[in-house]
Amino acid sequence: MKKIPEHQESKINSSSRLWLSIVGFFHRNYKLLLTWTIIIVAIILGIHFKVDKGIIVVLVMIFGTFAQAFSGLVALIATIPLLGPLLAKVLSLPIFWILNALGYFVSALAIKRGHKKEVINYRFITLVFLIGFAVGFIIAKLI
């Protein structure tokens, strides 16, 4: 049997450790990954077969809630080193959810009154504000 030089042996060990780490990740999170795969495939099929988008959203929300897909996704985000826990904390802040929900209610009210173009601008500004809120929170925690 041929002996492998030491510098190549360390490369083999590091690549096999990486492979085992990836396989372990999929093994530990297969239910969550399967759930998100089902959700993504359902969305793609719904759009392909021209199902009403409201129905798609309601079904995804119901399925995602019962399958705990959303909390699992936040938990996966939290596993990212350094920024993950901060991002998960921001996404779970009640004020973040209240501001976003308030934006949707104001948008629905404005659409009923015929201000569609203004709603697009408003939602864009709200999205920029929420992203800025999240980034500011993360930067403040890092400093």
Pair 106, 73: CB distance under 8 Å: no
Distance CA 12, CA 107 (A): 56
pLDDT > 90? residue 98: no
Find where tokens 């601008």 sit: 121
pLDDT > 90 in the chain, percent: 12
pLDDT > 70 in the chain, percent: 91
In which element (H, E) is residue 69 found?
helix 69-78
Amino acid residing at 135: V
pLDDT value at position 48? 94
Q: Read off the pLDDT of residues 49-95 as tens digits, 9 standing for 90 and up.
A: 999 888 888 888 888 888 888 888 888 888 888 888 888 887 777 77
pLDDT value at position 40? 94
Distance CA 58, CA 55 (A): 5
Q: Calculate the average pLDDT of the chain.
A: 80
Buried b (16+ CB within 10 A) or exposed e, 32-61: beebbeebeeebeebeeeeeeeeebeeebe
Distance CA 109, CA 91 (A): 25
Pair 142, 86: CB distance under 8 Å: yes
